[in-house]
Structure 1
Amino acid sequence: MRRIFKTLVSTVLVCALGSPLAFASSESPKLFEKIDNKSFVFKEEKTVKFEVLYFFNLNCLSCKNFEPYLKDWKSDLPSDVSFHSVPYSPSGSWQWANLAFFAAKLIDPSMTQETLSLAAKKYNKAIVNIDSASLFLTTTFHIKSGIIPPEIYSKNVIDLNEYGSEIGSKFGVIGTPSIVLIPRNGATYRISPEFVKTYKGILNITDALIAFNSKRTNE
């Protein structure tokens, strides 16, 4: 069923993208933002044709609601698509959630984005300062309460947080959740709730853009 719907959406999108006037009308919906060509952010295998960046934040309720759909979608990605989660802060205080995320990865490298998002959902408090970030980490890893885990102040964690902010700024990310699709050859696209109002819609448009660029490359 997903393949049939993907083909249908792709056909509509190809027709729209193939016509210079298709999006000229003010009545035409803007489904994504097209960005000048950007190179891959991560080092990818030569077989990878597309890089997908998922910008999220542990405080983001919309991200938590989006991620069950994202999990199913990821499991069906073709082998030439590479997926990466990028912690991003749309507001200053949410930087602490990113620091807590990277500190958690430093404490236990096996922790995945999905695992930590579930831990944040269970924690059920905003991570907006050193106290809430420390409490999230001590609760998640069963560390003695009242202790500030030193990992949260490590240079590695701070550098990773700054790098995530730089990546988000580079692609014009405004909020979370957001998807950035980078074809190996071609324009880059940003898809987010400001353009597409449903979680499935964000993923359907991403699917269609992958199909459109795959078709163009093969022609």
Structure 2
Amino acid sequence: MIKRLATFALLAALLSPALAFAQALTPGVDYVEVSEPQPLDPLNGKIEVVEVFGYWCHYCAEFQPLVGAWKAKLPADVRFTYLPAVYGGDDPYARAFYAAQGVKGLFARSHDAVFRAVNTSRDLPRNASVEELAGFYAQYGVDAAKFAQAMRDPKLDPKLARARDFAVKVELPGTPTMIVNGKYRILGNSYKDMLRIADQLIAKERKALR
């Protein structure tokens, strides 16, 4: 009898990940349907996952290693987009994010480091100035003065406005928040649970495309 129970326990342990994944999603618990759904960018046959984040958000800093590893394994039909949360009229960290994307390879080299500088080493304050951020990014091979100029470029204004408008449309409750195809705002009770729900919503949207 004991041996049989042990066998059942082993089978349950082996099957539990699959069972967890197969668990039906519950609206209002796992996700919220956006009232006026619209993706950030045209889907063009892709499934879009947007993570709204802030470098100054310590929850986002905790989530980043998990979401970064998860993102690296996404199939080709899924498009993952980081989107900075922009509260109020402006945000130097959001400007730094877009300025970094304008320099080849800079965003990939610096993204995780900015999280650490703000939330772990505290080399950057949460309310960093343009000059402080430009000085930080200079460690990654850019000219600080030119990077500060890029951060102040009015061409970034529409990008900040777009990020702010998207957050309003999805009724952003805080950061980090993940949105699938502009339709589903993920809830969940942990970071891993958010990714589980994302996987299931991706599968749901993939099935709808067939």
TM-score (structure 2 length as normaliser)? 0.75
Instruction: State how far apart, in whole Å, the 1-side matches of 2:195 and 2:97 are.
Output: 24
Alignment of 1:172-187 (within 5 A): 172-182=171-181
Matched, 1:121 2:116: yes
Q: Show the counterpart of 1:189.
A: 184
In terms of Rg, which structure is larger? 2
Q: Kindly state the Cα deviation for residue 199 of structure 1 after the two structures are TM-superposed.
A: 0.8
Partner of 2:83: 86
> % of aligned pairs identical?
20
CA distance in structure 1 between the aligned counterparts of 2:38 and 2:143, rounded to whole angstroms: 44
**Which letter maps to 1:158?**
D
- Give yes or no for the alignment of 1:110 onto 2:102: no
Structure 1 stretches lacking a partner, 5+ long: 17-22, 24-28
Deviations 1:151-189 (A, max 9, x none): 222111222111111111111112111000017xxxx11
Return the offset for 1:10.
Answer: 4.4
1:98 aligns with: 94
- Confirm or deny that 1:8 pairs with 2:19: yes
Q: Which has the higher helix share?
A: 2
Structure 1 vs Structure 2 CA RMSD: 3.0
Structure 1 runs of 4+ off > 6 angstroms? 143-148
2:82 is the counterpart of 1:71:
no
- 5+ residue gaps, structure 2: 1-14
For residue 200 of structure 1, the aligned residue among 171, 179, 192 is 192
